[in-house]
Amino acid sequence: MSQRPDLRQRRAVLEHEWSRWVPRLSVPGARPGGTATLRHEVTESWARSLGSVDPGRDSAPVADGGQVHQRWTSSPLYRPVSALAGELHSIAEDAGFVTAVTDESGTILWTCGGPTMRRQAERVNFAPGGRWDEQAMGTNALSLALRTGRPSSVFSAEHLVSALHGWVCYCAPVHGRDGRVLGVLDLSTTWDRSHPLAMSTVRTLVSTIEARLTTEVSTIEARLTTEVSRPVRLRLTCLGSEHAAHGGRPLPLRPRQLEILTLLALEPDGFSPERLRAALYGDRPVTSSTFKAEISHLRRALGGAISPRHYALTEPVSCDAGDVLRALEQGDTDTALRRYGGPLLPRSEAPGIEEWRTRLEVAVREAVLASTRPEHALRYGERAPYDAEVHEHALQLLGPGDTRRAIARGRLATALRG
């Protein structure tokens, strides 16, 4: 009972603020000169939010220092959204929207849109690394969709934070095959650009992403079944060294072609031309003919085993990096460490290779630190002489009388001096 007067008071505040904006915004359905009818879910969200969020704040707080690229590339939404990136860019730029994808916590992992709208969005940190859950930014479409598990829109002064009163947002949660919310897809723009078809567009895009999630799992399962019965003729070593062979014969590939082959081996679902080009060259100005020539040369070397248009390998490949990933997925740290020969293509500076190099290094290291077997930390410590945490972990696991403590202690001293 004690909370009811407080809720009524907060609702009155919201209605007062909302009524100030209605005449200026010409909201459809609002009574001229009167107050707007507030949705129950909005007022309830305001009541929850006011205890933790200052309506006068100017932007969303930052998660992980804004460094969320690793979280994005390891998200289950990364591949299906990347496959739709061209369409998402086109929708956002043509209609004057900013498109955003969050994880299940409400942290934005990826955005796209025209430069003008993106600059406006960045002013309120509607950008990768921004936190948009209810505890961080109060009432907004992203936070409502995460809380309810349903599509949501929030218009202008329905937002708790005043800095968002010039915006309208449409979004829907993305569900995995098990029904769990994996994140949210959002289309946002200024209130004067609001469009009645925006919500149906979001719903359609989310349905496509969810369908791709299901198809991806089915494709992987089908490919694994097929590969069991097909002989592996293509072999690739890319951890710590660089070597490829096809049909038992070495492949004389240039560094760029090895990078392409490695990326295709690590991402069996393949790449659009635009995404593969970005993974190889980043923002460097490289002509389309140069890029296509590298693909053509590799395709000829493999006997045509790369599909056209959407680049993917059309025959099984044995790859040491893939072996490490599968071992880690199965909790087999022994095999992962045995197959982990060092950094992925250590000489490569291709953005896509650097991303995968970091993912592999972090995954192997985390498996070692989670292991209760000292030999794992000792083996990994050979390749990481300056990783003090790994050497400390080895010492914690080794018994007082274990002679291997001297090895771990010596490595730790070297790491601390360095």
Q: Return d(Cα 57, Cα 225) in angstroms, integer.
A: 54
Who wins on pLDDT, 75 or 218?
A: 75
Nearest to 194 by CA among 142, 162, 154: 154
Dump pLDDT digits (tens) for 143-181. Answer: 999 999 999 999 998 999 999 999 999 999 999 887 889
Dump pLDDT digits (tens) for 264-309. Answer: 999 988 999 999 999 999 989 899 999 999 999 999 999 999 998 8
pLDDT at 32: 38
What percent of the chain shows pLDDT beyond 90? 63
Indicate the burial class of 228 (C-beta count within 10 angstroms; 0-12, 13-18, 19 or more): exposed
**pLDDT-derived band of residue 228, with 50, 70 and 90 as boundaries?**
very low
Residue 194 CB contacts under 8 Å (≥ 6 apart), including other chains? 155, 168
> What is the SS3 assignment for 209?
helix
pLDDT at 36: 53
pLDDT at 311: 93
pLDDT at 381: 92
> What is the SS3 assignment for 102?
strand
pLDDT at 22: 42
Residue 192 has pLDDT above 60, yes or no: yes
What percent of the chain shows pLDDT beyond 70? 87
Residue 59 has pLDDT above 90, yes or no: yes
Residue type, 348: S
pLDDT at 54: 93
Nearest to 136 by CA among 61, 84, 208: 61
Residue 94 CB contacts under 8 Å (≥ 6 apart), including other chains? none
Residue 344 has pLDDT above 90, yes or no: yes
pLDDT at 2: 35
**Mean pLDDT of the region 17-27:** 43
Task: Provide the mean pLDDT of the chain.
Answer: 86
**pLDDT-derived band of residue 31, with 50, 70 and 90 as boundaries?**
very low
Both tokens of 338, joined, read 């045995």
- Conformation bin of residue 342: beta by default, left when phi > 0, alpha when psi is -120 to 50: left
Q: Return d(Cα 178, Cα 96) in angstroms, integer.
A: 34
Residue 397 has pLDDT above 80, yes or no: yes
**pLDDT-derived band of residue 413, with 50, 70 and 90 as boundaries?**
very high
Q: Return d(Cα 183, Cα 128) in angstroms, integer.
A: 13
Q: Return d(Cα 55, Cα 32) in angstroms, integer.
A: 26
Q: Return d(Cα 254, Cα 349) in angstroms, integer.
A: 14
Who wins on pLDDT, 224 or 78?
A: 78
Both tokens of 175, joined, read 């569900």
**Mean pLDDT of the region 344-373:** 94
**pLDDT-derived band of residue 364, with 50, 70 and 90 as boundaries?**
very high
Residue type, 201: T
Nearest to 257 by CA among 314, 309, 311: 311
Q: Return d(Cα 355, Cα 65) in angstroms, integer.
A: 18
E strand or H helix at 106: none
Who wins on pLDDT, 269 or 353?
A: 353
* CA angle 412–347–418, rounded 5-degree value: 20
pLDDT at 14: 55
Residue 27 has pLDDT above 60, yes or no: no
The answer to whether 250 touches 243, Cβ cutoff 8 Å, is yes
Residue 337 CB contacts under 8 Å (≥ 6 apart), including other chains? 364, 368, 376, 379, 380
**Mean pLDDT of the region 62-88:** 86
Residues listed for the chain: 418
**pLDDT-derived band of residue 399, with 50, 70 and 90 as boundaries?**
confident
Residue type, 158: E
**What are the distances in angstroms from CA 46 to CA 58, 391, 405?**
17, 50, 58
DSSP 329-363: HTT-HHHHHHH--SSBSTT---HHHHHHHHHHHHH
Who wins on pLDDT, 248 or 31?
A: 248
> What is the SS3 assignment for 186?
strand
